[in-house]
Amino acid sequence: MQGSGSLGRTTPHEVAHQWFYGLVGNDQGRDPVLDEGLASYAEGRHEGTLEGFAALTVPFGAAGRAGEPMTYWEDRLDQYYLGVYAQGAQALAAVGPPDVVDCGLRRYVAANAHRLATQADLVAAMATVVPDAAATLAQYGIGPA
């Protein structure tokens, strides 16, 4: 299903969609970060490139807006990757050490499997392992509406 030259980071990102959108669904129009941001974090975790995501500069119109719906991004498609994919990974990495974030993601999956999750569900799961996770994620624009 992948073309030549697409192995590497594409594979773990797309496999992560089995969990983040496949097992735990979301309203992709309302919460694209729950799909693409979490898959990007999983990609970076698997590939050992979380530092690469952290080093990316998110442009002004996208910074702190990772949790915005697609209606926000439709006029900012040039900022969408950095605003949602990269910033979503940055937000999770900022919550805590990778093993702790992974624990929070496992709790998110366990609590929300086979249903449509919201940003509030992600924040609640992460707060079970890092009490100030809500404040950290809010800096990136991720949280309850």
Q: Where are the domains of the chain?
A: 10-139
Answer yes or no: CATH 3.40.50.12280 is held by domain 10-139: no
pLDDT for residue 14 is more than 70? no
∠ CA 99-102-103, nearest 5°, is 90
pLDDT for residue 22 is more than 80? no
Q: What is the mean pLDDT of residues 1-18?
A: 66
d(C-alpha 39, C-alpha 44), whole Å:
9
Pairing verdict, β 116-117 and 25-26: parallel
Q: What is the mean pLDDT of residues 127-139?
A: 98
Q: What is the mean pLDDT of residues 98-112?
A: 96
Q: What is the pLDDT of residue 10?
A: 72
